[in-house]
Structure 1
């Protein structure tokens, strides 16, 4: 009986490997995306724990890996490039286009953990999701430890997306501070503001827009507390009004 079981296992394993090989051949773009996201994750850990790479080098590698991921996703979403207003309008609606611009904006800015945080978290979510697909090809009972970690990431995906949205907003004042300290140029503020408006208007990912709304509600709640001085209340409400005027107008359906 043991010999029969061993024979069955030996027959099952090559089938899983062959299925994986076939999947890699027929889904080259998806597997390439999995690799670029893995690279972004690895370089993020290299940035935090600089054992093999200089932190600055790891930072730029993260942004380059993110740019490669975004370019591949754009190729998937918009395979045919056209020179037209309609194509450009559709291009700037794509989340992958937003993060391709993100990489370009911060490629020549001083490294910061807050800049690479949304890139890392996006990579982590999508890497975990596709890793489950690859593990299923190998067999339902393989790598149970990896499956457990993937399930934890997927269970917390909504929270992770909210953290990403908050970090996108937090980077805006960071770019302003960087410009004052000479760590970035003034154009970085302009470009990042446009990036943030694109994220605010994202059709596929509303979390940035929802986070702005949540922050506004929290700020107004704090400002209207009885113990808050009038000058601080006025300052907070003035900032809220200014940010609200700068926000893009969204269609009523959204």
Structure 2
């Protein structure tokens, strides 16, 4: 028995791979903007959760902190893509085509409006999607086998990326009538729906993210097919087709652009 025990104790165990924190440190120092973007997106996710589950602070405060974190993300992303600000017409035109500029305006629109739960959904989902993607890069710098549980969650997020982007685009569209209702209730300024309409136009004409444009098309097809059903009452058919015609007149000219698999912000 003692010999067996000694043999068992003498058996060499496979070495445990330690986390390479030095490599992580070097990665952070050499990719400061990317890491800062990852951090602001994490803060957006945390503050959004704090709004729904106000355990560590005031829900009202967490709502606006989430919007501010999203604004910081958008500003950093714009700096990363465009560099130094230039007071030229060409720079402004390029600025307005950037998705990050769209969501910087988005945060500024709703930061002066009473809290609306739907408003946080796009920034939360963008935060989850993009922070998950960069979290995988950080985990790789620690070691390819580091935190397999986190890797599993990240893979699930990336697997659902198309559905996440579709939810974001649908939320962007739904917020338009919500803005109008808020004006009627006195919870938003008269300019809010007009400014948000311009945001929606920018999302519709986005060069890198076609999901909002595609969602508008899907809604149009759904409404038209519903309106033309044989048993559809005439008044309902007229209302549905009226909505389609009104939205079509407001839509900007469609520009064909290549699709982006992960969207952008």
TM class, shorter-length: over 0.9
Indicate the residue corresponding to 1:17 in structure 2: 21
Q: Distance in 2 between matches of 1:151 and 1:42?
A: 20
Q: Distance in 1 between matches of 2:137 and 2:85?
A: 30
Indicate the residue corresponding to 1:112 in structure 2: 116
SS at match of 2:144: coil
Rg larger in structure: 2
What's the CA shift string for 1:89-113, capped at 9, x where partnerless? 1000000000000000000111122
1:141 corresponds to 2:131: no
Indicate the residue corresponding to 2:262 in structure 1: none
1:212 corresponds to 2:216: yes
- 5+ long unaligned stretches in structure 1: none
The number of equivalent residue pairs is 249
Q: Relative to structure 1, is the Cα distance of residues 198 and 253 closer, same or farther in structure 2, using a 3 angstrom cutoff? A: closer
Among 130, 133, 158, the alignment partner of 1:129 is: 133
Q: Distance in 2 between matches of 1:249 and 1:186?
A: 26
Among 89, 98, 103, the alignment partner of 1:99 is: 103
Structure whose residues are more often helix by fraction: 1
Q: Distance in 1 between matches of 2:11 and 2:139?
A: 26
TM-score normalised by structure 2 residue count:
0.91
What's the CA shift string for 1:11-32, capped at 9, x where partnerless? x536x11110001001000000
Deviating beyond 6 angstroms after TM superposition, the runs of 4 or more aligned structure 1 residues are: 1-4
Among 181, 186, 204, the alignment partner of 1:177 is: 181
> CA shift at 1:80, angstroms?
2.2
Output aligned runs, 1:147-162, within 5 Å. Answer: 147-162=151-166
- 5+ long unaligned stretches in structure 2: 1-9, 259-265
TM-score normalised by structure 1 residue count:
0.94
Q: Give the aligned CA root-mean-square deviation in angstroms.
A: 1.5
